[in-house]
C-alpha cells in the first residue's frame, strides 16, 4: 500500500506536546502541515518550538539549513477547522476525552473531503467508540505516536471494528514514510503499549505509597539496573499526569473495574493539585532553571 503523497496536506488538531511533535515529523517528511488549537496561542507556540528544534538540529549538523527553512515554511497555524477542508489526513491530538474527540470528528466530517483519513492519537480510548457517531466510521483510525514524537519510532496503527483495511494500510505506510516503525493493533483497551505499561506505573505507585523507596530511587533502579529507558516516575512526569490518569481510568473502566487497573489516589492528587509533570514545572520532580529534584 502506498503512503500519502508528499504533496498531501496534513492537519494536526491540538497543538500541545503531541500535536507539535506530530506536526514536526509530518513537515520534515515534506507535507504542508496545518495546526489548529482552541487555545489562541498554542499553535503559534508549537510552530515556534518546532523551528527552534530545527535550528538546534542545524547547529548540530543533523539537518541542512535550507532543509530546515523549507520544513519550517511548511507549518501554518489555522484559526478555524474550516481551513482544514483540503487535508488528506487529519491527526487529532486534543484532550483525552471521548465526548470531545467525538464532537471534533463529527464536526470535521462536515468539512473535509470524502477520502480524507481521520486519525486519532488517543492513548487509550476505544477507536471503535470514537468513530461510532460518524456517518463514515470506516475512515477513522488510531495513529498513536509516543512521546517525544520526533524521537520515538513506534506508531500503533489501531483499527476499530468499522475501520476500513485500506485506511489502516495507508496510515501504516504513511507512518513508515515519516521514518517511523508502525505496528497494526486492534482497538482493545490501552492497545498494546499503554496496556502493558499500566502495571509498570501501578506497582511503582504502590511502592511509593508503601514508602519502599522515593521516586528517584525507584527510577534509578528500573532505569539503571532494570534496563528501562526511563524510570516510571520520570516517565509519568514526561507524559503528564492529566493524560496518564485519564489513560488509567479509561483502561480500568474498559475492563469493567478490574482491580488490576485501579487508578492510584496519588495520581488523582497530583491532578487535583495541578502538578501535571514537566509541562507545569512540577510532578514527582521539580523542573526549570536546571532544577530537577524530588517534589513529592
| Annotated catalytic residue 138 | no
**Residue 28 φ/ψ, nearest 5 degrees:** -65, -30
Catalytic status, residue 194: yes
Rule CB under 6 A: choose which of 9, 14, 105, 171 binds ligand NAI. 14
Nearer to ligand NAI among residue 68 and residue 127 (C-beta) = 127
13 binds ligand NAI (CB under 6 A): yes
Residue 36 Cβ vs ligand NAI, minimum distance, rounded to whole Å: 6
Range 89-108, binding ligand NAI (CB under 6 A):
93-96, 100, 104
Q: 121, 123, 244, 246: which one is catalytic?
A: 123
Pairing mode, if any, of strands 9-13 and 285-286?
A: unpaired
**Which of 28, 194, 204, 244 is labelled catalytic?**
194
Q: Is 136 a catalytic residue?
A: no
Cα separation, 139 vs 5, in Å, equals: 18
How many binding residues for ligand NAI (CB under 6 A)? 27
How far separated are the first and last CA of the chain, in Å rounded?
49
Closest CB to ligand NAI among residues 68, 122 = 122
Q: What is the residue-wise DSSP string for 2-26?
A: PPPPTTSEEEEE--SHHHHHHHHHH
Taking CB under 6 A as the rule, does residue 243 contact ligand NAI?
yes
Shortest Å distance, C-beta 269 to ligand NAI: 19
- Residue closer to ligand NAI, measured from CB, 51 or 241: 241
Give every CB contact of residue 21 below 8 A, 6+ residues apart in sequence: 145, 147, 148, 149, 150
Is 123 part of the annotated catalytic residue set? yes
Q: Does 42 bind ligand NAI (CB under 6 A)?
A: yes
**Axis crossing angle, helix 265-273 with helix 241-254, rounded to the nearest 10:** 140
Alpha helices in the chain (DSSP H): 17-28, 42-59, 65-73, 98-109, 127-131, 165-177, 193-209, 215-220, 232-239, 241-254, 265-273
CA 258 to CA 113: how far, in whole Å? Answer: 41
Residue with cell 485500506: 166
193-209 and 265-273 helices, crossing angle to 10°:
90
Task: Kindly tell me which of 15 and 187 has the beta carbon lying closer to ligand NAI.
Answer: 15
Q: How far apart are CA 154 and CA 175, in angstroms?
A: 9
Comparing CB distances to ligand NAI, the nearer of 72 and 240 is 240
263 Cβ contact partners less than 8 Å away, ≥ 6 residues apart? 245, 248, 249, 252
Residue 122 or 267 having the CB closest to ligand NAI: 122
> Interaction with ligand NAI in 173-232: which residues (CB under 6 A)?
none
Residues within window 123-142 making contact with ligand NAI, judged by CB under 6 A: 123
**In angstroms, what is the minimal distance from the CB of 275 to ligand NAI?**
14
Stretch that binds ligand NAI, among 118-126, 129-137, 225-233, 281-289 (CB under 6 A): 118-126
Residues labelled as active-site residues: 123, 144, 156, 194
Interface with ligand NAI (CB under 6 A)? 13-19, 36-39, 42, 93-96, 100, 104, 121-123, 145-147, 239-240, 243
Amino acid at each position: 500500500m502506498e503512503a500519502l503523497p508528499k504533496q498531501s496536506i496534513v492537519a494536526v488538531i491540538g497543538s500541545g506536546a503531541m500535536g507539535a511533535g506530530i506536526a514536526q515529523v509530518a513537515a520534515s517528511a515534506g507535507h504542508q502541515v496545518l495546526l489548529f488549537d482552541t487555545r489562541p496561542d498554542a499553535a503559534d507556540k508549537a510552530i515556534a518550538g518546532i523551528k527552534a528544534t530545527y535550528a538546534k538540529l542545524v547547529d548540530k549538523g543533523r539537518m541542512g539549513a535550507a532543509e530546515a527553512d523549507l520544513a519550517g515554511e511548511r507549518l501554518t497555524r489555522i484559526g478555524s477547522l474550516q481551513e482544514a477542508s483540503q487535508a488528506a489526513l487529519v491527526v487529532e491530538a486534543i484532550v483525552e476525552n471521548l465526548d470531545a474527540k467525538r464532537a471534533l470528528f463529527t464536526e470535521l466530517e462536515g468539512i473535509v473531503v470524502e477520502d480524507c483519513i481521520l486519525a486519532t492519537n488517543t492513548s487509550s480510548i476505544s477507536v471503535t467508540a470514537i468513530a461510532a457517531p460518524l456517518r463514515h466510521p470506516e475512515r477513522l483510525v488510531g495513529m498513536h505516536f509516543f512521546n517525544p514524537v520526533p524521537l520515538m519510532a513506534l506508531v500503533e496503527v489501531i483499527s476499530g471494528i468499522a475501520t476500513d483495511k485500506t485506511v489502516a494500510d495507508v496510515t501504516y505506510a504513511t507512518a513508515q514514510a515519516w521514518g517511523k516503525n508502525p505496528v497494526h493493533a486492534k482497538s482493545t483497551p490501552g492497545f498494546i503499549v499503554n496496556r502493558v505499561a499500566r502495571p509498570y506505573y501501578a506497582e511503582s505507585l504502590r511502592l511509593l505509597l508503601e514508602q519502599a523507596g522515593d521516586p528517584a530511587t525507584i527510577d534509578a533502579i528500573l532505569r539503571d539496573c532494570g534496563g528501562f529507558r526511563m524510570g516510571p516516575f520520570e516517565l509519568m512526569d514526561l507524559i503528564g499526569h492529566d493524560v496518564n490518569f485519564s489513560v488509567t481510568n479509561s483502561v480500568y473502566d474498559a475492563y469493567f473495574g478490574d482491580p488490576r487497573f485501579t487508578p492510584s489516589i496519588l495520581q488523582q492528587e497530583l491532578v487535583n493539585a495541578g502538578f501535571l509533570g514537566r509541562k507545569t514545572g512540577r510532578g514527582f520532580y521539580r523542573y526549570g532553571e536546571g532544577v530537577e529534584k524530588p517534589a513529592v
